[in-house]
Amino acid sequence: MIALIQRVSCASVQVEGGTVGAIASGLLALIGIVQSDDRPQADRLLQRMLDYRIFPDAEGRMNRSLRQIGGGLLLVPQFTLAADTDRGHRPSFTPAAGPGQATALFDYLIGQARALHTPVATGRFGAHMQVSLINDGPVTFWLEVAPGSDA
């Protein structure tokens, strides 16, 4: 399971001209789901996102987590993160989870996130979305949790 996280001053997602999710300061997380992903990986990835220390402390060092600052979490499904880009000039989406599996796992991730943190906002699975953000820093990290890994 993949999360491209960005520390943001604010972020929002629009679908068909209406805002479906928005946060103030916090993390925008673009989520990619591959065929081998399951609930334990979603749980580990969520813990990493909530506890990853990328927010400044009093000295300006990245030493505080999303939980510690009480920031927002905006989860946006993005199947293109699971693309195989090793060859040619066109990505292959063979590694990506199918819509049924990916929707179920993304919904599970949302439920777990809302049980552990607030505020949590989301994009809409399967929709054409416009994502707006102000990347604070910029600070962007790629987090990946593989099957059986200790994250």
Q: How far from the centroid of its chain's Cα atoms is residue 69's Cα? A: 18
Mean residue pLDDT of the chain comes to 96
- Measured from the Cβ of residue 113, the count of other Cβ atoms closer than 10 Å reads 21
In the chain, pLDDT over 90 holds for what percent of residues?
A: 96
Look at residue 150 in the predicted model and tell me its pLDDT.
Answer: 58
Domain ranges of the chain: 2-144
Bridge partners (DSSP) of residue 2 are 32, 144
Which residue in 145, 143, 100, 144 sits closest to 125, CA to CA?
100
Does pLDDT of 45 surpass 60?
yes
CB 7 within 8 A of CB 85: no
Helix axes of 99-116 and 39-51: crossing angle, nearest 10 degrees:
40
Lowest mean pLDDT among 12-21, 61-70, 86-95, 142-151: 142-151
- Residue 76 forms beta bridges with which residues? 30
Closest CA to 78 of 94, 97, 60: 97
Q: Is residue 148 scored above 70 in pLDDT?
A: no
The pTM for the full model equals 0.95
Q: What does the pLDDT read at residue 146?
A: 86
- What average pLDDT does range 83-105 have in this prediction? 94
CATH superfamily placement of domain 2-144: D-tyrosyl-tRNA(Tyr) deacylase (3.50.80.10)
> What gap in Å lies between CA 26 and CA 35, rounded to an integer?
29
Q: Which residues are identified as catalytic?
A: 78-80
For the chain, the straight-line distance linking the first and the last C-alpha, in angstroms and rounded, comes to 11
- Is residue 151 pLDDT above 70, yes or no? no
